[in-house]
Amino acid sequence: MKRFLTITFLAITYFAQAQELPSIPANGFAFPLGSKFVIKLIPADSVNFDYSVLSFEPFEEIVDTRKKDDLFEKDGEDNTIVFYFCLGTNGETEQEREKNMRVLLTMKNYSKEVINYTSEIQREENGEYEETSNVGTFPNAIGTEIWPYMIYSIGLREFRKFSYATNSTNRTTVETGNTQTTVETDNIFTNRLNLILYELGNLRLNDVKLKEQEWGGVDNMPDYQLGIGESYYPNPNKYAIDAFRVYLYKSSLIENSITYYATKESGLIRVIFLEWEEPFLINQNLQKKVNETFRNKLTFLEDKIMQEAGKHIEYKEEKNYINRIWKTSSGFTISLENMKNFNRVRMVIYKN
């Protein structure tokens, strides 16, 4: 890690010399590992934001991941977000701390908005950027993204209010004939869950491609690489996660996307990421029905998981979300996360 930090601080020096701060507002910037920076959101329209970099400085400390709250002030300037892109670890001994060393992007949002944004990581020096998933950022809340591998730089762009789509190809318009009723999607989920719990370990991308087509899923592959953060999938076996497939199902009240992450060489699927959210465009007269649909969906998902795994073994409630984790007797981990302030549910399934 020392060599990585040396490279990082040289990059920081270049960045600092190249930028006059506060910067001119733009859609996005890239930041090197080992830095603290503060951005201010500037409305571009009623949905989207540009941002200005107010301050930028080297950050050489290795953060204790159990004490991230100490990095941030209770109150901050309106419409700003403070970021630390750095190394973090925990443990009682030097050996434990070295083993647990991770790359972190930890932040606190001082705006009043739930914010989505697009993040891209550079995993090789002078390499290309690849898009990676993130959980967004919530008002007056601290959030953290974690990666178990080296990242040289991170690009942050397309900040927008929650639930609004960008121009990226990861959101596909689905023809009316391909929409699914809630009952149909529940039946499909049950069939998919059974397939995963019985076959994961031998299940390949080509297998699920045939099944998703059979169930009526729309191929929703983006034109860039997706990754999954360690906060969702710790990857205890250190598999290469370098292939994926994405499928989309829609009803008038809810959208469901499924991403299968796999090892390209073998085609074996390692982890499945499922997400339910409101449609991009929703008639306000239907909002109560949408809310009811999400409550019912969450109950349905909880019941299905409990049928397979019993009572959850971990429960975490934060200001903006609730997360539960189950483990099955056959070695599966299932996590279910639901947001409190808006309609979004996420599930992750993998086998240890």
SS3 22: coil
| Residue 283 confidence (pLDDT) | 62
Over the stretch 60-91, which tens digit does the pLDDT of each residue have?
A: 899 987 788 889 998 999 999 999 999 998 87
Contact 257, 246 (CB under 8 A): yes
Cis omega before residue 22 (within 30°)? Answer: yes
The tally of CA atoms less than 13 A away on the side-chain side of residue 263 is: 13
Phi/psi zone of residue 233: left (φ > 0), alpha (ψ -120 to 50 degrees), beta?
beta
Question: 9 forms bridges with which residues in the sheet?
Answer: none
Residue with tokens 């019941």: 303
| Residue 204 confidence (pLDDT) | 92
Q: Which of 283, 330, 291, 286 is nearest to 308 (CA)?
A: 330
Q: What are the backbone angles phi and psi of residue 199, rounded to the nearest 5°?
A: -115, -15
Question: 244 forms bridges with which residues in the sheet?
Answer: 261
| Residue 17 confidence (pLDDT) | 47
| Residue 2 confidence (pLDDT) | 38
Q: 169: buried, middle or exposed (CB in 10 Å: 19+, 13-18, 0-12)?
A: exposed
| Residue 265 confidence (pLDDT) | 93
The low-confidence residues of the chain, meaning pLDDT below 70, are 1-19, 135, 163-183, 252, 280-284
User: Model-level pTM greater than 0.95?
Assistant: no
Q: Which of 261, 162, 179 is nearest to 218 (CA)?
A: 179
The tally of CA atoms less than 13 A away on the side-chain side of residue 210 is: 5
| Residue 349 confidence (pLDDT) | 97
Q: Which helix (H) or strand (E) holds 106?
A: strand 102-109
Over the stretch 250-281, which tens digit does the pLDDT of each residue have?
A: 776 888 999 999 999 999 999 999 999 887 65
Cβ contacts of 259 within 8 Å, gap of 6 or more: 226, 228, 244, 245, 246, 272, 273, 274
| Residue 292 confidence (pLDDT) | 87
Joined tokens for residue 64: 């204790």
Task: Name residue 111's amino acid.
Answer: S
Beta strands in 185-331 (DSSP E): 218-219, 243-250, 255-262, 269-277, 314-317, 321-327
| Residue 176 confidence (pLDDT) | 35
Q: 249: buried, middle or exposed (CB in 10 Å: 19+, 13-18, 0-12)?
A: buried
The C-alpha angle 315, 273, 245, rounded to 5 degrees, equals 175
Contact 186, 251 (CB under 8 A): no
The tally of CA atoms less than 13 A away on the side-chain side of residue 11 is: 19
From residue 206, give the alpha-carbon distance in Å to each of 242, 243, 244, 256.
15, 12, 11, 20
The C-alpha angle 138, 141, 142, rounded to 5 degrees, equals 110
Residue 89: count of CB within 10 angstroms of its CB? 18
Please, what sign has the CA dihedral across residues 50, 154, 113, 134?
positive
Phi/psi zone of residue 265: left (φ > 0), alpha (ψ -120 to 50 degrees), beta?
alpha
